[in-house]
């Protein structure tokens, strides 16, 4: 008679275990779904992230070109008499070319700055013809062309600094590759120096034109600003005295 309560206790314990085994994964899954929902609800970019991401991309663009160019320079300057095999020079040079082409393709095309349109001058009644003015000497005309604020072909928009720096760097790399496979070590150091200079020019061009924050290191000299677009010439004022006497 005493065995019956024991069986009932064991049966009850088994049922409770089965219920816990079924309910526990469901509860854990529900908690996981709740956590994921909470995470997705708060996963939003901070204000101003887009501008910072653009700056980070500019720095990454610099790094993408720095690595292959410095690899080439290290290989050249550590080689015997600065000479590389044709295959090694071709491999290192192609890596630089690919990096420059990638950065050139990723760079946005900046249209030239638009000059504000000159407002139309209101029509005035025709005035009697005036006698012709004497012709100015050529020297005076040349001086007039050079007057400040003169418009025309001389008033050019700022150049694409990054694009010019990339083109100059590629040209310097091509010169270096020719020097390291020529068998003459005399031209290696000048060509390598030109590549280092071209790399510095590229870094400065991206820093100045990439919208990066202004450096604030104490004691650091201020960087020059980009050249400004020339202002449009002023519209001459209309005469206020009315029509000329007949």
Whether the predicted pLDDT of 101 surpasses 70: yes
User: Alpha-carbon distance 214 to 211, whole Å?
Assistant: 9
pTM of the predicted model as reported, rounded to 2 decimal places: 0.55
In this prediction, residue 171 carries a pLDDT of 96
Structure tokens at 61: 């663009």
Residues 6+ apart with CB under 8 A from 234: 149
In this prediction, residue 202 carries a pLDDT of 92
Q: Which of 164, 59, 60 is nearest to 110 (CA)?
A: 164
- Whether 210 contacts 187, CB under 8 Å: no
The residue length of the chain stands at 246
- Whether 95 contacts 119, CB under 8 Å: no
Can you say whether residue 178 is alpha, beta or left, with left for phi > 0 and alpha for psi between -120 and 50 degrees?
alpha
Whether the predicted pLDDT of 170 surpasses 80: yes
Structure tokens at 10: 């064991």
Whether the predicted pLDDT of 200 surpasses 70: yes
DSSP assigned state of 219: T
- Whether 213 contacts 91, CB under 8 Å: no
In this prediction, residue 160 carries a pLDDT of 81
pLDDT above 90 as % of the chain: 31
> Hey, what domains does the chain have and what are their CATH numbers?
49-108+159-212 (1.20.120)
In this prediction, residue 213 carries a pLDDT of 81
In this prediction, residue 113 carries a pLDDT of 44
The alpha helices in 43-160, defined as continuous H runs, are 49-78, 86-106, 138-145
| Position 187 confidence tier, pLDDT thresholds 50, 70, 90 | very high
Whether the predicted pLDDT of 76 surpasses 80: yes
Residues 6+ apart with CB under 8 A from 119: 235
Highest mean pLDDT among 131-135, 163-167, 234-238: 163-167
Give pLDDT tens digits for 26-74.
Answer: 555 555 555 555 555 566 778 878 888 888 888 888 889 999 999 999 9
In this prediction, residue 150 carries a pLDDT of 39
Whether the predicted pLDDT of 147 surpasses 70: no
First to last CA, the chain: 142
Q: Counting beta carbons within 10 angstroms of the beta carbon of residue 19, is it exposed (0 to 12), middle (13 to 18) or buried (19 or more)?
A: exposed
Q: Which of 209, 69, 233 is nearest to 150 (CA)?
A: 233
In this prediction, residue 206 carries a pLDDT of 86
Mean pLDDT of 230-243: 63
């Amino acid at each position: 008679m005493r065995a019956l309560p024991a069986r009932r206790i064991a049966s009850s314990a088994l049922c409770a275990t089965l219920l816990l085994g079924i309910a526990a994964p469901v509860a854990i899954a529900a908690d996981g779904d709740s956590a994921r929902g909470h995470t997705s609800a708060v996963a939003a970019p901070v204000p101003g992230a887009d501008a910072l991401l653009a700056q980070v991309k500019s720095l990454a663009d610099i790094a993408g070109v720095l690595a292959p160019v410095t690899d080439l320079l290290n290989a050249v300057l550590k080689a015997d008499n600065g000479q590389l095999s044709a295959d090694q020079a071709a491999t290192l040079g192609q890596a630089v070319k690919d990096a420059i082409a990638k950065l050139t393709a990723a760079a946005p095309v900046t249209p030239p700055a638009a000059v504000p349109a000159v407002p139309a001058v209101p029509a005035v009644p025709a005035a009697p013809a005036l006698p012709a003015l004497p012709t100015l000497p050529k020297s005076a005309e040349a001086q007039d062309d050079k007057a400040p604020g003169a418009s025309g072909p001389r008033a050019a928009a700022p150049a694409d600094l990054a694009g010019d720096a990339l083109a100059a760097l590629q040209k310097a790399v091509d010169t270096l590759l020719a020097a390291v496979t020529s068998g003459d070590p005399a031209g290696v150091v000048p060509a390598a120096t030109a590549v280092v200079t071209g790399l510095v020019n590229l870094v400065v061009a991206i820093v100045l034109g990439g919208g990066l924050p202004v450096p604030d290191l104490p004691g650091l000299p201020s960087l020059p600003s980009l050249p400004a677009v020339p202002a449009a010439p002023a519209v001459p004022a209309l005469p206020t005295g009315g029509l000329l006497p007949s």
